[in-house]
Structure 1
Amino acid sequence: MAFTPAPWPRKLRSQEWWGGTSRDNIYHRGWMKNQGYPHDMFDGRPVIGILNTWSELNPCNAHLDVLAQKVKNGIYEAGGFPVEVPVFSVSESTFRPTAMMFRNLAAMAVEEQIRGQPIDGVVCLVGCDKTTPSLLMGAASCDVPTIMVTGGPMLNGHFRGERVGSGTHLWKFSEMVKAGTMTQEEFLEAEAGMSRSAGSCNTMGTASTMASMAEALGMALSGNAAIPAVDSRRRTMAQLSGRRIVQMVKDDLKPSDILTKQAFENAIRTNAAIGGSTNAVIHLLAIAGRVGIDLTLDDWDRCGRDVPTIVNLMPSGKYLMEEFFYAGGLPVVIKRLGEMGLLHNDALTVSGETAWEQVRDVQNHNDDVILSNERALTQSGGIVVVKGNLAPNGAVLKPSAATPALMTHRGRAVVFEDIDDYKAKINDEALDIDETCVMVLKNCGPKGYPGMAEVGNMGLPPKVLRKGITDMVRISDARMSGTAYGTVVLHTSPEAAAGGPLAIVRDGDMIELDVPNRRLHLDLTDEEIARRLAEWHPAATAPEGGYAMLHHLHVGGADTGADLDFLRGCRGAPVGKDSH
């Protein structure tokens, strides 16, 4: 895609604050000089905001302070003025009720940081699941030159000679304890080897998926996604990104130039090839909504349906992000898509090159990690979108993590009204359930949980696990961790709390899942569904105040990205008035 750089030099946005001799200019410059900046730092060089999600309560991002210094070095080298700005850091491992509830709050805070301050371009330092999409959303809403730098995955975990993937083995070992095949003491021993270095999840969970999505969209430098957090090349990538953002400001290369419909289609196909997280669906829909791109669930199914899953990583495969990096990382996957005719080769990236120009010379160094098309984990990867009278607006399923035999299944519903109901019943030996049933969880969507928690991969009842059964069909309006696996139908829209058909499912109802035909059907007549919906009443009222109330009143459905309705669209970054 052709891009014409803007003329340089020119007056930058930051000069409205710092360029001149007015009282207001002196006011702004004078306060900044208390940090020891010389006068020529304010002479019109690009001011780069390093939006840093570093936090000690966000363990995936706790090393970003080191990367920030490398970014600064790169900015200085390229003649820019770096300013580090702390922004809202949403941790998947600690935030309650769920990190997803605060993704939109973080995006709103980032947007206003950019809009209200003398920033000409931004480097987004991100890592944990929601920090990558939230900063992308906020930056896209302002449309100033932006580059993403992710913190990288942890090193491989190990336990008694077994390769341990963060998250994936947590679910596996937990089920083994319930089944009686692993002791609690062994589980505690495994804990020590699960997370043994700085970085985010080392599986193809949501953090690694969103790092890959940032790269596939063209918003990060090629090769960024897979470098381990503690590898020296991660720090090199940060410094190179610092250099690059200065030139992007000079060229006026903005997110709106990069985040085209073609870029999103590239990302969707990349997600299919890597066996990426279902959470990417919600996040890319939300990002697209910020730049005015018409992206729908149908695009996800259309673009991903014929893409083989060729990255052999947990939870779909057997390796971890460390091996993926050594094999060549995401550039190898993107090159493969280009060779298959599935890539918009001329899509523009932050490097100034096209998607194809960046990857045409890369090589695969391990064909057991990045598989040939013939050896793909599944020939039809991607995210499946199923619709029907149980999900009129759609629901999603990840084929590469599901059991093939369950992709066509009809079973009796066992219903849990909310997550507390599930927790109260699931270990009860008297629960009327077997492996042929369909587990249904309600009221865990954007409004219902609130925030749409990662509880959709409900653990199976112990009496089923003791039979050696490890998977059942599960349906909910919730999300699941990108590190999770199973035949799990998620994001059912409209959600139960908004009066979707999921709300009126009862124990004993028959449900049919038909993935090949993209169908999710509740075996009731239209008249019976209408009668039950007419009798339905919301289980909970809106919160009385605070952000929870704002979220409840304005959050959209999962099928549109679960963004707040008043945040959709690009509002730009006008300078505004100075009243000092």
Structure 2
Amino acid sequence: MAAQELRSQQWFGRKGKDGFIYRAWMKNQGIPDYEFQGKPIIGICNTWSELTPCNAHFRDLAESVKRGILEAGGFPVEFPVMSLGETLMKPTAMLYRNLASMDVEESIRANPLDGVVLLCGCDKTTPALVMGACSVNIPTIVVSGGPMLTGNHRGAQIGTSDVWRYHDDVRAGILPEDELMTIESAMCRSQGHCAVMGTASSMACMVESLGLSLPGNAAIPAADSRRKVLAQLSGLRIVEMVKEDLKLSDLLTRQSFENAIKVNAAIGGSTNFVIHLLAIAGRIGVPLALKDFDPISKNIPLIANLQPSGKYFMEDLFYAGGLPVVLKALDSILHRDCITANGKTIAANYDNAVCCNSNVIGTIDTPFNTATGLAILSGNLCENGAVIKPSAASAHLMQHTGKAVVFENIEDFKSRIDTDELEVDEQSILVLKNVGPKGYPGMPEVGNMGIPKKLLAKGVTDMVRISDGRMSGTGFGTVVLHVSPEAAMGGNFAMIKTGDLITLDVPNRTLNVDLSEDEFAERKRQFLAPEAIADRGYVKLYTDHVQQAHLGADMDFLVGGSGSQVLRDSH
């Protein structure tokens, strides 16, 4: 690409006062003049933060990216954007995904960047960065932070999914509270995001299967030196992408989205994948609806034997050959000709992949679980749909009818779930309302409600649970999520009462409550919408404009993009 075609030359290529200002103030960092003479300016969008432990190694990782950019003849400029720490942020990091995407979008558009490297890892940082970059649509490549090393406690491998088991064991009196302190020091023993196929790992697999990263990006552990090698190669590659003018819109096609959906089903990926992929599709302008997910993924079994749906960890996936081996196992059902960030087709990237451990990565013919990783439900309880993860659920509950035990909000749930007065048995269906995008707000990961203490004492380990919220990708169980419209909107889900008979039928993809239309209408006449959570600031903006889960929970005014053109010139 000629110097005058570079976007950054609209700043640094100018003469007179404007060019003077742009270059002079950059030079106070000790930058020689030749760096501004037609070199591609590459932004490194960094979500490093000590409040985001999964991304706390990103300053070091950014240095590897810079080496690659310099090696290829580009000029790297690192910049920060809002970081979303899943484990610490209240009320939920999901509330701020859209805000971070705005930060990314405007930071890229407003600055003299020809291409961008997205450094992301923790759950919401990946979709937020990709969403924001899509709305600008310049050459972009993703570098994930990588999973942490597998935890180890008393000779047993452990990971984030075990948190839910330990929590129930403490509540049941099986595990002493002080033992939990020992376990927490043994679980997160290196830099990186969750070691299981949680949301962070699912997002890393998503960007690789979409073609937004170099091959192998998803599984290299954060502590492995090869993570830095991939970062350097990504820095080198983004300069070439700028020269080729290979943009996100060239990579993100309907076919690449379908590939990602198939991969997520095969790896038992997080249900959060659905809501994030829908939002990304909305930003880049690819038609994609919730109803599309089921026919694309319905007959794909679980072939990656990873927690929480299976046995092993992301570290094991890497040693077994990484995501390219999974992609190769799916070769017969993938769109092989989709172009990826390295300029090659996705098939070319996995053609030479070799499986090094068939206990970790199986095939379509020899899966670890015939249940798929994702199912979309419809019915009168969820007019606009709901999701469930069959591969992490109990087979005996896939077709189940039971009486609802309703909790009106998370506070109601916490106050009553472990009381002796709670009328519940193992056939009951737990229902949690008002934890959706508007109702909470932010749609927290509370859908995998804990089993009532009185049932844990009887040895019950799973029961059907339904909510308009989400659950952690590390969670498991027979959990129906993302019910849309959410309770706060006054749809059918808001009308469910304790004692109503609910039927879950996963094989037939239905979720219904035994209520007549007349009864629904009568209850809706008596419905009182919850009071507004906030009257100012971002939370008010969010609740006023956030879309429902089946649309990706993006803000209505953020769907689509404004491109890379700066509308006004200040100098």
TM-score band, normalised by shorter chain = over 0.9
Say whether the 8 Å CA contact 1:268–1:382 is kept in structure 2.
no
1:303-359 deviation per Cα after TM superposition (whole angstroms, max 9, x unaligned): 110111110110011110111000001000111111xx2100000100100010111
Measured in 2, the distance between the counterparts of 1:77 and 1:372 equals 39
Report the Cα distance in structure 2 between the residues aligned to 1:145 and 1:372, rounded to whole angstroms. Answer: 34
Equivalent residues in 2 for 1:326-475, closer than 5 Å: 326-338=319-331, 341-475=332-466
1:342-378 alpha-carbon deviations (Å, 9 max, x no partner)? 1000001001000101110110000000023344232
Match of 2:187? Answer: 194
How big is the alpha-carbon RMSD for the aligned residues of Structure 1 and Structure 2? Answer: 0.9
1:183-262 counterparts in 2 under 5 A? 183-262=176-255
Q: Distance in 2 between matches of 1:216 and 1:539?
A: 40
The match for 2:262 is 269
2:6 maps to: 12
1:116 paired residue number: 110
Q: Deviations over 1:390-443 (max 9, x none)?
A: 001000000110001000000000000000000000110111001100000000
SS in 2 for 1:544: coil
Map of 1:534 onto structure 2:
525
CA distance in 2, matches of 1:542, 1:256: 37
- Code of the residue aligned with 2:313 in structure 1: it is L
* 1:83-124 residue CA offsets vs partner (Å, 9 max, x unmatched): 000111011001111000000000011000011110111000
Verify: 1:477 aligned to 2:471, yes or no: no
1:206–1:276 CA contact under 8 A, matched in 2 = yes
| 1:485-564 correspondence to structure 2 within 5 Å | 485-564=476-555
Contact 1:8 1:251 in 2 (8 A): no
Conserved in 2, the CA contact under 8 Å of 1:411 and 1:437? yes
Aligned to 1:3: none
Work out whether residues 495 and 523 of structure 2, in 8 Å CA contact, stay in contact via their aligned partners in 1.
Answer: yes
Q: CA deviation at 1:575?
A: 3.1
d(CA) in 2 for partners of 1:418, 1:560 = 23
Letter in 2 for 1:434: D
**Residue 502 of structure 2: SS of its match in structure 1?**
strand
Aligned-partner SS, 2:5 = coil
Instruction: Report the Cα distance in structure 1 between the residues aligned to 2:310 and 2:377, rounded to whole angstroms.
Output: 24
Q: How does 1:55-70 map to 2 (within 5 A)?
A: 55-70=49-64
CA distance in 2, matches of 1:368, 1:36: 53
Which residue is equivalent to 1:107?
101
Structure 2 CA distance, aligned partners of 1:280 and 1:159? 30
Q: Percent identity?
A: 56
Conservation of the 8 A alpha-carbon contact between 2:146 and 2:220: yes
State how far apart, in whole Å, the 2-side matches of 1:375 and 1:11 are. Answer: 52
Unaligned runs of 5+ in 1: 1-6
- Deviation string, structure 1 residues 145-199 (Cα, Å, up to 9, x no partner): 0000000000000111111012x11111000111122111222211111100000
Q: Secondary structure at the match of 1:180?
A: coil
Q: Does 1:566 align with 2:566?
A: no
Of the candidates 46, 49, 68, which is equivalent to residue 74 of structure 1? Answer: 68
8 Å CA contact retained: 1:92, 1:129: yes
Corresponding residue to 2:17 among 17, 23, 39 = 23
Separation in structure 2 between the aligned mates of residue 12 and residue 227 of structure 1, nearest angstrom:
33
Cα-to-partner distance string for 1:187-236 (whole Å, 9 max, x where unaligned)? 22111111000000000000000000000000011100000001000000
More displaced stretch, 367-376 vs 140-149: 367-376
Q: Which amino acid aligns with 1:156?
A: T
Is the contact between residue 542 and residue 553 of structure 1 (CA under 8 Å) also seen in structure 2? no
Equivalent residue number for residue 318 of structure 1 = 311
C-alpha distance in 1 between matches for 2:180 and 2:366? 33
Check conservation: 1:127, 1:207, Cα contact below 8 A. Answer: yes
Secondary structure of 1:83's counterpart equals strand
- Supply the distance in 1 between the matched residues of 2:397 and 2:25 (Cα, whole angstroms): 64
Q: Which amino acid aligns with 2:447?
A: G
Residue 540 of structure 1 deviates from its aligned partner by 2.0
Q: Secondary structure at the match of 1:175?
A: helix
* Counterpart amino acid of residue 557 in structure 1: Q
Alpha-carbon distance between aligned partners in 1 of 2:378 and 2:254, rounded to the nearest angstrom: 24
Q: CA deviation at 1:542?
A: 4.7
Question: What stretches of structure 2 of length at least 5 have no aligned partner?
Answer: none
Residue 329 of structure 2 contacts residue 363 of structure 2 at CA under 8 Å; is this kept in 1?
no
**Is 1:45 paired with 2:39?**
yes
Q: How far, CA to CA, are the matches of 2:310 and 2:244 in structure 1?
A: 42
Could you say which residue in structure 2 is the equivalent of 1:176? 169
How many angstroms apart in 2 are the aligned matches of 1:497 and 1:575? 38
Q: Contact 2:137–2:564 at 8 Å: present in 1 too?
A: yes
Match of 1:458, SS state, is coil
Q: How many residues align?
A: 571
Matches of 1:114 and 1:422 in 2, distance apart?
A: 42
Specify the SS of the correspondent of 2:318: helix
Please say if residues 215 and 324 of structure 2, whose CA atoms lie closer than 8 Å, have aligned partners that are also in contact: yes
Q: Secondary structure at the match of 1:142?
A: coil
Question: 2:126 matched to 1:132?
Answer: yes
